[in-house]
Structure formats: structure tokens, C-alpha cells
Amino acid sequence: MKNQITRRKFLVSGGAAVGAVAAAAGKNPQNGVRAEKRPADPFLGTGGAPFTAGAPCLQAPGETSMGVSWAVSGLSKGEVEYADNPGFAGAKRVKGGGYGLVPIDVSALQVRLTGLKPATKYWYRTITTPFTDYRNIYDAKLGSPVVSPVHTFTTLGASAAGGFCVINDTHAQWKSFAMTVRKLKEISPAAIVWNGDATNTTQDKATAVEIFLNPPVEDADWSADVPVFFESGNHDFRGSWISKKEEVVLPRDPSERRGDQWDLKWNFAVRLGEMALIGMDTGEDKPDAHPKWFGLANFESYRKAQTAWLEEQFARPEIAAAKFKIVFCHIPLFAAPDSSAYPHDGVKIDPQDYAYWSRECNALWGPVLNRAGVNLVVCGHQHRFRFDEPDKDRSWAQVVGGGPDLARAAQGGFPTVVEGRVEDGRLRLVVHDVSSGRIAFDKLI
């Protein structure tokens, strides 16, 4: 109980709001440029202020598509140039958005590359051009383009190589986040799953841009060469701005799903070599009827819709044929009946005020996972590493990642990078304690 109270206090107070801090200092939160050099309305252009474009972040990876997002310090347009060779022979340039008007923005730009080849390495760079003046479209003025360094990515697919890494509950705690991304760069996996609670409560876009695209850490380019899947945690639904998070984090390519599944924009099911990676969204950790939601929650129907989608994914030949099937979701799907976590199941109004595990998701998804022969479920949420073996009712093991509070490292709450890879025909699971550099867990599944 003491540890859970500590977690609650941490979540309320943790993660300073960069916009407020920057405003107090009279500086732009992204690059330290003093705000008075810019027009009062940033959509009028950058004025005489210096302009910067952040490192690209690879998002929503697929077998034939890849998303690229990056932070900008003022009104600008963006393109991505890419090729399947380092000399950029036959390179293509892709603008942001779909047909019609190309999006421009004052803080973040996004481009989705489509029509790519599976399991193929590409070289790419972003090209960002600021508008110094945009008071009238007929006489707007452009500044000099900013071209990023060349980066690479490799698309996914059944013939792709490499393993995955999972991070969770980073909560904008920058000291532990710096340790986490340093470990990711050291491992250099084929893909990263950010398994929820990247945020705390998001009231403005500047905070989301900092967290997802422009973190104040040395390795701010941590996702420029390794793509990131994002699955929401309960905190990633909190705040008056957060419903717009796809302006910063690209959802999946819409062509991956039917129109009636349009709102399942974060779920993914892809092959990475012998592994099938499936992402699910457990939603909030309280019942929809909880009074703190003021009628805003609609997660129960969301989970049911995902159940139908999940069954369809396991019926796809390429997913069904995978030797190893791994599911990712934020809130744990299992708690032992004799554990202290078991009563806090997210179904009833809980005096502890949040679920330790999701009984509803277990009831909806658990039978589907068993029928499909899922090997592993990777979760977060509890800010404490644990591993649950399969049992007579579950085909799947469950691993729960740790939390960002370094003060709790000695009590098992250390921040983790969960690594999975195929080794000698077995699925190897390694849990790294990034606070100490030790391996906390190593098992062949």
C-alpha cells in the first residue's frame, strides 16, 4: 500500500510542464530563442527569429510504410527525401498530408512514406522550410530550407531481421528517460514499442512535442534510425489537449484497416521475422462511469471493438504463421487470485482509485490470445518489474516493465528496457535495469 501511495503522489507531481518553465524564462521551449523576436501570432511566420528543425522521429512502422515526425521552432512546411541507397540515386520526395493542401505548423511536422518494400533498408532526410511571413498567401515569404543529416530505417516484414525493445511509463522524467534511450541506442533493436504513459496530463501541444519529438536529453535523436510503435497508457488520455495527440504522434497507416475500424488508430499487427507483434490499447484504468471522468470516457466499447479486430489479425495468414506471437498493452492482463493486486481490477469503482490489472481486457482478449497460441504479453502501468509464468489457463507469459522513479529502484521500481529476440529457435526475453546497467531478468520462452 505504501508503494502505491508513493506512485500516486509521483504521478501528480512528476514531469514539469516545459511550456510554463520556458514562459517564465521568456524563451521558446524548443530551442531557447527569445519570444519577442517572433510575431505575436506564430502562424504569421517566424519573423526575424532564428529557425530550427529537430531530429526526425520514426513512427508507426509497417511492412510498406513509415511515418516521420519532427519538431520545428516556427511556421514551416516539410518534406522527406528517401532512397534505397546511400547515394540517393532515384530518390523520391514526399510532402506531408494527403491530397490537396499540404499541412504547415508552428511546432511539429509529419510525413508518411508509403509504397515501400518490406524488409528493406532506406536512407532519408527531412527538408524543412520556414515561412518568415505568412500574413497573406499571395505574398508570403520563405526562409532558407533546413536539411537534416542522413538517417536510415528498415521496414518490417516476415523476412526482416532483429529484435524489439519495449519502454513504458516514462512520464517525462528526463533523468531516467536519458538512461532509457541510451540503452536503446546501445541495443539498437529493429523496432521499439513505447508501451504507454509517455505523458502525465497534457494541457498543450508544446508539452507533447517535447515528450515525443524533442526531449531534453543528450540522445534526443534516439528514434531517428529505429522506428517506434506507440500504444497509449491511461495517462495518455488525460488533459484538455491530449485528444489531438496524432498531431505529434502519427497513428497507423489508415490503409491497414477498414472504415468501421477507423478509430482503432493505434492498434498494430505486423511481422518482424519469426515474430508477430500485436499492439492493443487497454485505455483508462477506471470504469467509464467513474465520476472523475465527467462522462468523457467511452473505453468499454473501445475494448470490445478491439476484440473483433484482434481475432481478425490472428486469422491473417502471415500473423498466424509466425512462430512467436507477442502482444503489447499498457495495463497488465493478469493478476494472480492470491495477490494483493487481484481485487483492483478496473471493473468497479475502486477506493484505491485505479486498476492494477484489467479484468475486462482479460475476459475479452484472453480467450483470443489462448486460441492463437500467444507466447508473451508485455505490459507496464504498475511501475514495478515482474514476470508471470504461463499456467493451465494461459498460453502466455506476462512481463511487466518498471517505472521512471529512480528513488524506487531498490524496491523493484527501476526503469526498464524489455528486450525480445529470437535466438537458436527460441524467444529470448531480457529485462534491463537501466538505473544500474544490470540485467534484471533473462529467460528463454
Per-residue pLDDT tens over the stretch 30-59 = 444 344 477 789 999 999 899 999 999 999
pLDDT category, 278, cuts 50, 70, 90?
very high
Model pLDDT, residue 48: 85
22: Cβ contacts below 8 Å, ≥ 6 apart: 28, 29, 206
Rounded to 10 deg, the angle between the 299-315 and 359-372 helix axes is 0
Among candidate residues 136, 153, 170, the one where a domain is terminated: 153
- 277 and 322 in one domain? yes
**23 to 18, 19, 33, 65, 206: CA distances (angstroms):** 8, 6, 11, 38, 11
- The H-or-E segment that residue 276 falls in is strand 275-279
Find the domain containing 403 and state its range: 2-13+156-444
- For the chain, give the mean pLDDT: 91
The answer to whether residue 59 is domain-embedded is no
Indicate the number of domains in the chain. 2
Query: For 381-391, what is the mean pLDDT?
Result: 96
Whether 250 shows a pLDDT value over 90: the answer reads yes
Among candidate residues 153, 186, 220, the one where a domain is terminated: 153
d(CA 213, CA 154): 20
The answer to whether residue 24 is domain-embedded is no
Q: Which three cell numbers stand for residue 329?
A: 498493452
Which of residues 91 and 3 earns the better pLDDT score? Answer: 91
The answer to whether residue 23 is domain-embedded is no
pLDDT tens digits along 321-344: 999 999 999 999 999 998 889 888
d(CA 152, CA 169): 27
- 160 and 139 in one domain? no
d(CA 239, CA 222): 26
pLDDT tens digits along 181-236: 999 999 999 999 999 999 999 999 999 999 999 999 999 999 999 999 999 999 99
Reduced to 3 states (helix: H, G, I; strand: E, B; else coil), residue 253 is coil
Among candidate residues 131, 153, 175, the one where a domain is terminated: 153
Model pLDDT, residue 40: 87
The answer to whether residue 190 is domain-embedded is yes
Model pLDDT, residue 29: 41
Hey, how many other C-beta atoms are within 10 angstroms of the C-beta on 355? Answer: 27
Whether 23 shows a pLDDT value over 80: the answer reads no
pLDDT tens digits along 140-184: 999 999 999 999 999 999 999 999 999 999 999 999 999 999 999
- 433 and 403 in one domain? yes
Whether 1 shows a pLDDT value over 70: the answer reads no
Query: For 127-152, what is the mean pLDDT?
Result: 95
- 416 and 311 in one domain? yes
The CATH number of the domain where 230 resides is what? Answer: 3.60.21.10
Q: What is the pTM of this model?
A: 0.91
Query: For 382-400, what is the mean pLDDT?
Result: 96
Whether 2 shows a pLDDT value over 50: the answer reads no
- 167 and 126 in one domain? no
- 218 and 147 in one domain? no
The answer to whether residue 220 is domain-embedded is yes
d(CA 240, CA 200): 12
SS3 string, 297-332, reads CCHHHHHHHHHHHHHHHHHCHHHHCCCEEEEECCCC
pLDDT category, 19, cuts 50, 70, 90?
very low
Is the alpha carbon torsion for 214, 216, 218, 223 positive or negative? negative
- 367 and 275 in one domain? yes
Whether 376 shows a pLDDT value over 70: the answer reads yes
Whether 266 shows a pLDDT value over 90: the answer reads yes
Whether 13 shows a pLDDT value over 80: the answer reads no
Q: Which three cell numbers stand for residue 81?
A: 527525401
Model pLDDT, residue 113: 98
Query: For 348-371, what is the mean pLDDT?
Result: 92
